[in-house]
Structure 1
């Protein structure tokens, strides 16, 4: 889990998450970047749904 934030003009916050299996292989990876004032619960829900779709369709 990594969070990077800056105080630039656009005030961007980015989050990247990687899920690995017991043997260390990559199972899923999701990243999300948005202006800080727009990064809300709705965005987090959207990322979770996208992660489920990637895993369900094996788009890794």
Structure 2
């Protein structure tokens, strides 16, 4: 029997996974390929992918001081 995981939980897991991958190798590593891989790995929908793109876009702006 499989367990149904709420979509919001999958998005949280994707955020954690991307964070681990970025910090593990290089925080300057491009995030777009990681978002694509997370979308497949965590079965994310287009809206979830768009959220991740906006999240990391905003984070980059905050880091740069814009």
Interval of TM-score (by shorter of Structure 1 and Structure 2):
0.3 to 0.5
Higher share of residues assigned strand: 1
Higher helix share: 2
Q: Bigger relative contact order, structure 1 or 2, given CA contacts below 8 A and separation 6+?
A: 2
TM-score by length of 1: 0.43
Query: Computing the radius of gyration over CA atoms, which structure comes out larger, 1 or 2?
Result: 1
- Relative to the length of structure 2, the TM-score reads 0.41
